[in-house]
Amino acid sequence: MDIAQIRTFIAVYETGSFLAAAERVHVTQSTVSIRIKNLENQIGTVLFDRNKQGATPTLSGRHFLKHAIALSRIWDQARLDIGIGEEQETILRIGAQVSLWDGFLLSLLPWMRAHAPEVAIRTETGHSPELTRNLTEYSLDIAVMYRPENRPGFRVRQVLDEEVILVSSADPDRDIFDQEYVYVNWGPEFQGDHALNFPDMNVPRISLDVGTLGIDYLLETPASGYFPKRIAAPLIRSGRLWQVESAPHFTYPAYMVYGEDIDSDLMELILKGVEEITTAMPDLKKPSGQKSA
**pLDDT tens digits for 162-192?**
899 999 999 888 888 877 899 988 877 888 8
The C-alpha atoms of residue 6 and residue 51 are separated, in whole angstroms, by 21
- 243 and 199 housed in the same domain: yes
Task: Tell me, yes or no, whether 41 and 176 share the same domain.
Answer: no
- Helices (H), ranges, 83-107: 98-101
Question: Which residues pair with residue 257 across a beta bridge?
Answer: 143, 156
Is 287 inside a domain boundary? no
Q: Which of 192, 186, 222 is nearest to 207 (CA)?
A: 186
Number of domains in the chain: 3
Residue 194 identity = H
Q: Quick check: pTM over 0.85?
A: no
Distances in Å between the Cα of 39 and the Cα atoms of 9, 36, 216, 217 are 8, 5, 53, 54
Q: How far is the C-alpha of 91 from the C-alpha of 123, rounded, in Å?
A: 11
Domain of residue 56, CATH code: 1.10.10.10
d(CA 201, CA 210): 22
Domain of residue 104 covers 90-159+254-280
Whether residue 214 is found in the same domain as residue 226: yes
What pLDDT was estimated at residue 112? Answer: 94
122 is a domain residue: yes
- 65 and 28: one domain? yes
Q: Is residue 246 part of a domain?
A: yes
Task: Please write the tens of the pLDDT for every residue from 124-165.
Answer: 888 888 888 888 878 789 999 988 888 888 999 999 988 999
- CATH number, domain of 173, equals 3.40.190.10
Q: Residue 141 in contact with residue 259, Cβ under 8 Å?
A: yes
In a domain, 145, yes or no: yes
